[in-house]
Every structure is written in C-alpha cells, then in structure tokens.
Amino acid sequence: MNEKTKKIIENIQTLTDELAFHATHPDEFLKVSDLQNDLHKVRQAFDTQINNEGEN
C-alpha cells in the first residue's frame, strides 16, 4: 500500500469519527452535511486510487 492510499484511508477514518461525533451531538448537526460531502469526495478518491492500483 503506497503513501497516497494510506493517507486516503486515514482521511476516511477521521471523517467517519467526526460523523459519529456529530450524530451523537445534535447541536452540531449543521456541520454533518459538510462532513458527508467531504466523506463522499474521499470515498471517490479512494475508489479511483484502488482502480488505478488495479490497472498497474
């Protein structure tokens, strides 16, 4: 696993932790949509990286 893939996985873990926090703290709810958008972007980048590694 290369450094870029490791960084993407770390980002997914961080965003997942943040989403879990916001889900349990409704007063912070307004930030959840931003976190979900970021998580989606990270997931797309992760999928792209996996596909690229599969082609090499």
- How many structural domains are present in the chain? 1
Find the domain containing 37 and state its range.
3-55
CA atoms within 13 A on the CB side of 8: 16
**CA–CA separation, 37 vs 27, rounded Å?**
19
- Model's pTM, two decimal places? 0.49
pLDDT tens-digit map of 21-52: 777 776 655 566 777 787 788 888 878 877 87
